[in-house]
């Protein structure tokens, strides 16, 4: 039965008269999957509730931050208490160092760090810092990896850029993009060739250690350490963009899971407990190049916002205290969902490739092994769109893009696993195997 979305449709029409496309972030649009985007009224645990009274099992978790589920009581109370003292000061608070100490406990490679307000800001500044520290201009990134919407990083980016079929972005000067070298993920030979061509011109390599913005794509064995070795051999830095993977693949993110120590790390999403918050950090000699100690400038009026610090502290304290139970359970639940739907697809004769790392996963509608953006792009996006619409009608809200990872929270349990498997079974019977 089609969803009743009359109120959401009205709100979308109103939003389109005020906001470009009716959204404040393109990934919220449903243009690649079709149908009407529900407008959310509230959320609790593993569920979203829209303005029309419909309930959905949330499989994207605000694009990653809601690892403890929505409206997690300790986080809500921490925000409420902090707000009672004012939402912003523009001056230092003890909470900034309190959260920094918790981050450092989980990520020892961050000898010093600085808080900012978004992953874009964190990646943009980490790259500027790498350039300032090395005195070089070029940056190596990878096709399908998204490091925010700063000019230099919108070259062969994933995420909404891939979803909308945009090769880059208008408004990015060629003079800016020319210093970005985009290479295929999981291909060390391409990286070696780039450094051989510019042995003393590349400032850094920036990489999502597990790609999440082209769908979930794991690094091949030895790939991350190979990147670090190549960078260091040529006097460049390695930046791990753990905005998505930080605190999700393990308490110490991908660098703990894959035993890799970068020079700089960017963090976001979970670090703020759902509020706008991100950070970048790394070796103290590099971080000391930042103003007010060094010549690389960065500033932000709302950086270290007291509400975000409170939410982040409450989130990380809970993850640290319950690490031994939370992460194994997250991975177990994710595997039940990811492999369970894959098995149903096989029985229905639907071609599907499933990639999972920790509590993030993607179902690619392709028969190819997905190891980079080129192989991810072989997916049948129309089939994914039909699947997405059918799942939404059954009360399961997947990321509205073939090129985005799905996420599981601690609030996803046996009941939620059963719900998504039942919904997938019906979806494959109706919307995938019987194509219009």
Whole-number pLDDT of residue 346:
94
What's the pLDDT tens digit per position in 377-420? 999 999 999 999 999 999 999 999 999 999 999 999 999 999 99
Report whether pLDDT(129) > 80.
yes
More confident residue, 29 or 17: 17
Distance (Å) of CA 296 to CA 125, 202, 246: 9, 18, 25
Mean pLDDT of 167-188: 80
Domain that residue 50 falls in? 6-63+323-432
pLDDT at residue 177 above 80? no
Same domain, yes or no: 20 and 153:
no
User: How many folded domains does the chain comprise?
Assistant: 2
Average pLDDT, integer, range 268-287: 97
Say yes or no: 310 and 331 in one domain: no
User: pLDDT tens digits, residue range 350-363?
Assistant: 999 999 999 999 99
Structure tokens that stand for 322 in this block: 């319950």
Where is the domain boundary, 306, 321, 336? 321
Report, as an integer, the average pLDDT of 23-48: 91
* 103 plus 216 within the same structural domain: yes
Contact 282, 114 (CB under 8 A): no
Q: Per the domain annotation, does 404 fall within a domain?
A: yes
CATH number of the domain that residue 341 is part of: 3.90.1150.10
Question: Is 209 inside a domain boundary?
Answer: yes
Considering the domain architecture, whether residues 203 and 313 belong to the same structural domain is answered as yes
Whichever domain contains 129, its CATH number is 3.40.640.10
CB 182 within 8 A of CB 162: no
What value does the CA radius of gyration of the chain take, rounded to a whole number of Å?
21
One domain, residues 211 and 306: yes
250 plus 156 within the same structural domain: yes
Among 293, 321, 349, identify where a domain stops: 321
pLDDT tens-digit readout, 299-321 = 999 999 999 999 999 999 999 99
Across the range 201-208, mean pLDDT stands at 98
Asked whether residue 193 is domain-assigned, the answer is yes
Domain boundary among 299, 321, 343: 321
Q: Which tens digits make up the pLDDT trace of 135-174?
A: 999 999 999 899 987 767 776 554 444 433 344 667 676 7
Residues 425 and 317 in one domain: no
Residue 31: which pLDDT band, with cuts at 50, 70 and 90? confident
431 band by pLDDT with thresholds 50, 70 and 90: low
Residue 405 lies in a domain: yes
- Is the residue at 1 inside a domain? no
- 175 & 280 share domain: yes
Q: Which residue(s) pair with 45 in the sheet? A: 70
Are 88 and 305 spatial neighbours (Cβ–Cβ below 8 Å)?
yes
Q: What is the DSSP letter of 180?
A: E
Residue 410 domain-assigned (yes or no): yes
Q: Between these two residues, 6 and 28, which has the higher pLDDT value?
A: 6
**pLDDT the model gives residue 432:** 56
Residue 165 gets the label, from left (phi > 0), alpha (psi -120 to 50) or beta, of: left
What positions carry a catalytic annotation? 146, 241, 269
Same structural domain for residues 220 and 354? no
Determine the Cα–Cα distance for residues 407 and 334; give it in Å rounded to an integer.
Answer: 8
270 vs 272: CA distance, rounded Å: 5
Domain shared by 296 and 328, yes or no: no
> Do 139 and 167 share a structural domain?
yes
Residues 122/266, Cβ–Cβ less than 8 Å: yes
For residue 94, being part of any structural domain is answered with yes
Q: Which pLDDT does position 156 carry in this prediction?
A: 58
Residue 173 confidence (pLDDT): 67
305 and 340 belong to one structural domain: no
- Residue that the structure tokens 């800001």 belong to: 121
pLDDT 10s digits, 331-355: 999 999 999 999 999 999 999 999 9
In a domain, 68, yes or no: no
Is the pLDDT at 282 greater than 70? The verdict is yes
Provide the pLDDT for residue 166.
40
Helix (H) / strand (E) element for 364: namely strand 360-364
Burial of 385: CB neighbours in 10 Å, binned 0-12, 13-18, 19+: buried
- How far apart CA 133 and CA 147 sit, in angstroms, is 20
């Amino acid at each position: 039965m089609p969803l009743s979305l009359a109120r959401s449709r009205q709100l979308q029409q109103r939003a389109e008269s005020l906001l470009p496309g009716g959204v404040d972030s393109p990934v919220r649009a449903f243009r690649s999957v079709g149908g009407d985007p529900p407008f959310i009224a509230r959320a609790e645990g593993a569920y979203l509730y829209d303005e029309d009274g419909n309930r959905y099992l949330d499989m994207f978790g605000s694009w990653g931050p809601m690892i403890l589920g929505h409206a997690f009581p300790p986080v809500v109370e921490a925000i409420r208490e902090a707000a009672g003292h004012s939402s912003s000061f523009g001056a230092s608070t003890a909470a900034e160092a309190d959260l920094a100490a918790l981050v450092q406990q989980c990520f020892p490679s961050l000898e010093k760090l600085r808080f900012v307000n978004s992953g874009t800001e964190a990646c943009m500044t980490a790259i500027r810092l790498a350039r300032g520290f090395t005195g070089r201009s070029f940056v190596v990134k990878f096709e399908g990896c998204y490091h925010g919407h700063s000019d230099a990083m919108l070259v062969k980016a994933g995420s909404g850029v891939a979803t909308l079929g945009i090769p880059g972005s208008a408004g990015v000067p060629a003079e800016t993009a020319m210093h970005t070298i985009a290479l295929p993920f999981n291909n060390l030979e391409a990286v070696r060739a780039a450094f051989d061509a510019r042995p003393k011109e590349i400032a850094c390599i920036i990489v999502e250690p597990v790609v999440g913005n082209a769908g979930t794509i794991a690094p091949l064995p030895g790939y991350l350490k190979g990147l670090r070795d190549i960078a260091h051999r040529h006097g460049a830095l390695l930046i791990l963009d753990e905005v998505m993977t930080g605190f999700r693949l393990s308490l110490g993110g991908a660098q703990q899971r894959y035993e890799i120590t970068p020079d700089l790390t960017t963090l976001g999403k979970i670090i703020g407990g759902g509020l706008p918050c991100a950070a970048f950090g790394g070796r103290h000699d590099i971080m000391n190049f930042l103003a007010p100690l060094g010549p690389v400038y960065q500033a932000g009026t709302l950086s270290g916002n007291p509400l975000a610090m409170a939410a982040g502290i409450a989130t990380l304290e809970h993850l640290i205290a319950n690490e031994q139970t939370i992460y194994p359970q997250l991975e177990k639940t994710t595997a039940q969902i990811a492999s369970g739907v894959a098995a149903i697809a096989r029985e229905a004769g639907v071609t599907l490739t499933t990639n999972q790392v920790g509590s993030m996963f993607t179902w690619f509608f392709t028969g190819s092994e997905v190891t980079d953006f080129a192989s991810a792009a072989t997916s049948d996006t129309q089939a994914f769109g039909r699947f997405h619409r059918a799942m939404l009608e059954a009360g399961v809200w997947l990321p509205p893009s073939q090129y985005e990872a799905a996420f599981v929270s601690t609030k996803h349990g046996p009941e939620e696993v059963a719900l998504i498997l039942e919904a997938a079974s019906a979806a494959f019977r109706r919307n995938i195997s019987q194509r219009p």
